[in-house]
């Protein structure tokens, strides 16, 4: 069988290859054959290339990295053996190039960083929204407990017009609502307080109302849920609707007892600080809130006592003083406030 053109140009040849790899080498192969190396990563091997075999392929396997170097072994009549030297510097350079991320990889990593930052931002926003909901729920709960009921009670009519007189005046305006309670009774009047859209009915009738700041505030606050059935509202929303309707009746009908006590009580409610300004809010004791704030990587803490409308800065406070504050009854803060 005649030799091929490749076999003629590349007859069999023998030689050797040696060099030094960089630390971390796991295995080394030459033309698919595993080659040993010493503790300093020096290697040396004798190689026989067959006829037509053009290349010597060196493979260096590292952790998560493979370096492949391919050598074309030319044949010359005067050269019977070849020698290939692999300097350590060349392998180091190859590893450096291999580890250097491509432009596509750089863009991919940048995108991942952006996505991670966006995810963190969204998580932060969700956390803030959750805390804001908790703050609102706490404020609503405190408000409900602190404010008296707007419902009509019998003793309100002892020194003024009767419930029947007030009910008759309301009926004469024919708002068009139908109530379950017996007409012209206190129960009937209280059911009017539970009509979510009573303000809209008043407006449709063209009744003239002097809108006090409190009325304006209640109208704005209840706008989003006045179209909903009363039974579906939260306890806080129900009470707001009832307050609005009670104030409307007081503004429209002189026969309505002027309920002052709940207004005064409401004014006494101390506002709850907005928790979105704080990283952490904890009611560690009844009526005492611990608030932690972050400002440019620095943390500060305060104790807020809503009942006493008092703020206590914890900066520089000793552990003994802190224990005294934590154990101090709310009543003491109230007495201190009066002094």
Q: Which is more confident, 55 or 129?
A: 55
Q: Which residue has the tokens 């305060």?
A: 302
- Cα–Cα distance measured from residue 215 to residue 193, given in angstroms and rounded to the nearest whole number: 14
3-state secondary structure 77-131: CCCCEEEEEECHHHHHHHHHHHHCCCHHHHHHHHHHHHHHHHHHHHHHHHHHHHH
pLDDT in tens, 205-250: 888 888 888 889 999 999 999 999 999 999 889 999 999 999 999 9
**In this structure, are residues 161 and 273 in contact, taking their beta carbons and an 8 Å threshold?**
no
For 159, 160, 161, 211, 266, the CA distances from 155, given in Å and listed in that order, are 8, 10, 11, 27, 21
Question: Domains in the chain and their CATH numbers?
Answer: 5-99 (2.60.40), 148-267 (no CATH), 275-338 (no CATH)
Q: Is 315 helix (H, G, I), strand (E, B) or coil?
A: coil
Share of the chain above pLDDT 70, in %: 79
CB-based contacts of 19, cutoff 8 Å, min separation 6: 42, 43, 84, 85, 86, 87, 88, 91
Q: Which residue(s) pair with 49 in the sheet?
A: 13
pLDDT in tens, 28-44: 999 999 999 999 999 99
- Cα–Cα distance measured from residue 46 to residue 48, given in angstroms and rounded to the nearest whole number: 7
pLDDT in tens, 51-94: 889 999 999 999 888 989 999 998 888 888 999 999 999 888 88
pTM score, whole prediction? 0.44
């Amino acid at each position: 069988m005649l030799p091929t053109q490749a076999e003629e140009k590349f007859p069999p040849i023998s030689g050797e290859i040696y060099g030094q790899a960089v630390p971390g080498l796991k295995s080394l192969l030459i033309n698919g054959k595993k080659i040993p190396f010493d503790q300093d990563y020096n290697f040396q091997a004798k190689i026989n290339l067959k006829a037509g075999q053009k290349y010597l392929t060196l493979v260096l396997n590292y952790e998560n990295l493979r370096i492949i170097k391919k050598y074309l072994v030319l044949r010359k009549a005067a050269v019977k053996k070849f020698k290939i030297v692999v300097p350590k510097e060349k392998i180091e350079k190859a590893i450096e190039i291999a580890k250097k991320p491509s432009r596509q990889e750089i863009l991919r990593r940048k995108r991942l960083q952006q996505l991670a930052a966006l995810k963190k931002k969204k998580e932060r926003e969700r956390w803030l929204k959750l805390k804001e909901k908790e703050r609102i729920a706490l404020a609503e709960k405190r408000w409900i407990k602190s404010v008296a009921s707007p419902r009509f009670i019998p003793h309100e009519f002892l020194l003024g017009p009767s419930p029947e007189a007030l009910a008759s005046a309301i009926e004469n305006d024919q708002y068009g609502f139908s109530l379950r309670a017996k007409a012209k009774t206190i129960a009937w009047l209280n059911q009017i307080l539970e009509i979510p859209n009573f303000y809209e009915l008043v407006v449709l009738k063209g009744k003239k109302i002097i809108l006090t700041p409190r009325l304006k505030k209640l109208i704005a606050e209840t706008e989003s849920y006045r179209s909903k059935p009363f039974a579906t509202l939260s306890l806080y929303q129900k009470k707001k609707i009832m307050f609005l309707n009670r104030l409307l009746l007081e503004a429209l009908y002189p026969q309505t007892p002027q309920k002052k006590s709940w207004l005064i009580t409401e004014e006494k409610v101390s506002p709850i600080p907005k928790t979105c300004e704080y990283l952490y809010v904890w009611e560690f004791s009844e009526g005492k809130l611990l608030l932690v704030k972050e400002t440019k990587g620095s943390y500060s803490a305060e104790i807020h006592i809503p009942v006493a409308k008092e703020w206590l800065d914890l900066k520089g406070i000793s552990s003994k003083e802190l224990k005294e504050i934590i154990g101090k009854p709310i009543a003491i803060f109230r007495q201190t406030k009066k002094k």
